[in-house]
Structure 1
Amino acid sequence: MKTPPTIIVLGAGQGSRYTGARHKLAEPFDGDDSVFTCTVRHALASGLPVLVVTTSRFAEEAAGLVATRDIVVLGERDGVAPGGMGDSIAAGVAARPGAGGWLVLPADMPLVRPATMAAVAAGLGPHPVAYAQYQGRRGHPVAFGGELFSELVRLGGDEGARRILARFPAQAVEVGDPGVLLDMDTEADFAALKDRLLATKAPTPQA
């Protein structure tokens, strides 16, 4: 049986553009669940293996959701994880070298649906890269095939995997999920996420 891809939830960013009273991932989002928890829960609901890359700030919260072996805690300096998204991706991939690929999902995207993650994972095969697309616009998660291991573990800095995306053919997976475009860099982004969440829970008008 083919080994499934692993979802790598990236939760080690500084969130420096967010000016709220707390870290953006700690913001209450859906009931008692934070942005961070909602994203991880949706990843788990996809049925795919999940690995969380985070800092000590969210390690305890992560441990309430996944096994300790499924958490990578990046070292911190002055309360901030060194490096950028590239370092987080590399750490996650290196921790799961035998996976059948890796889906990269930023932890500030709590509305990405579990079915979307499964669809993007299924898009790997003919192409070494697959990504979620909504109404023609590229979003997350982005999936990478196992053959790109050596490329991914050498990533570093804030650029993430852009160079890999530019070099290798990719499969767009069109989904009916606007959450693939909605991340949370600013307080305005957070308000938009909350509005979208409320819209999804609103009762459907009866004809």
Structure 2
Amino acid sequence: MNVDLLSHPAEEVAPKLLGCVLTCKTPEGAVSIAITETEAYSGTADPASHAYRGRTDRNATMFGPAGHLYVYRSHGLHWCANVVTGTDGIASGVLIRAGRVIEGEALARKRRGERVESPRLARGPGNVGQALGITAEHNGADLLAGTSVMLSEGKPVPAALIRIGPRVGVSEAHDWQHRFYLAGDPTVSAYRLSPRAKPTTGA
């Protein structure tokens, strides 16, 4: 994986991450997913972004450099993984919403539950983090340096399989067409409109 691929706005990088492989190695073992669903989030121009109101200690990783992992906790329960993109100093990131487990399925199942069906192991951003074993300790990790969390190129995805739609479950800028996913893939999460969604116009 070349950092040049990631050094562009999130909405340009997000579809290119489909099919790429995200791997997390822990003392328990390694789990890898082939990415099947992503969402792009910008900085101060994006009301749904963590960086909308500027830089803080919590979101500092999102401001770059590209190729690092931004990890945050959702609803106090799940750790979510984002690939930092764009120009250093300008917040931009791609949320990994779903993937297909291609390595370490037994370990992913141990973390997610023995009865969870294979397509659901890493369906949804919280489940991605849980299946991979990502925690706050991985925030800021260099995804291109061969450390415990790595992003690598996978099998090319035909453009005809890529679908675009509104982001899932956000109350602000929910209708922005910044969600990218593989058509017909059983690992992709279902679209859900937030009950707090506000009418917007935007990107």
Q: Same fold (TM over 0.5)?
A: no
* TM-score where L is the length of structure 1: 0.31
More helix by share: 1
